[in-house]
Amino acid sequence: MDDLKVDLNFKGFTSTRLKIRRFRPEDAPSLQAYREDPEVAMYQYWSTCTLSEAQEFVETQARQTADIQGEWLQIAVECLHSKEHLGDIAFRTCPSSLDTTFFGASFSRRAQGKGYASEALAHLFYYLFEQRNKRRLVGITDCRNEASVRLLERLGFRREAHFIENLEFKGELVSEYLYALLRKDWPSSPAFRIYLQSRRENS
């Protein structure tokens, strides 16, 4: 780990509809509710989530330093208007390459299909490319996860790899796609357009 590279001041971002912020203890029940939903959990590493697991998770993530190489930071996404906790996005810089970062997203079922994941991730990409100097962002998805594939393609990511039966996951062999976006393609990407459209003044 390179201590000089971590972001000790990370607070999150605000877009026109969303507050993308550090987790807080009061997020545990809403986190548990969407992690317990079998449709949200289907392609994720967890299957169930107790309240005490959710409490431990939010406490750990509230303390986690941003952009420690090789460690995930999960961030809560809240509706700016209603203050409802909608889901989370996450990022992890590659252990072997400081300029490459992986990311993911999970939203409660009722927060899906509204463009919130795209909006939150577009603001994360702005932070990673323009403030953290990343060169390549990577999303990996189970090939069966159609919503995730649509999300990555909507944001302008390029499918670079198709790994066939590369992983044993929840008792079966599954295949994955790897999608990436390079910093040089960011200014012309749909993700950058989403970022510009959902940028708040003074955020």
Give contact residues for ligand COA (rule: CB under 6 A): 40, 43-44, 104-107, 112-118, 141, 145, 147-148, 150-151, 154
CA separation for the pair 203, 197 (Å, rounded): 13
Contacts of 129 (CB under 8 A, 6+ apart): 137, 183, 186
Q: Which is nearer to ligand COA, 11 or 110 (CB)?
A: 110
Token pair belonging to 142: 């189970």
CB of 88 to ligand COA, least distance (A): 9
Q: Which is nearer to ligand COA, 1 or 167 (CB)?
A: 167
Q: Which is nearer to ligand COA, 114 or 158 (CB)?
A: 114
Quickly count: other Cβ atoms within 10 Å of residue 36's Cβ: 16
CA separation for the pair 54, 48 (Å, rounded): 10
CB of 15 to ligand COA, least distance (A): 11
CB of 117 to ligand COA, least distance (A): 3
Q: Which is nearer to ligand COA, 6 or 17 (CB)?
A: 17
Query: Which residue stretches of 139-181 are H helix?
Result: 146-154
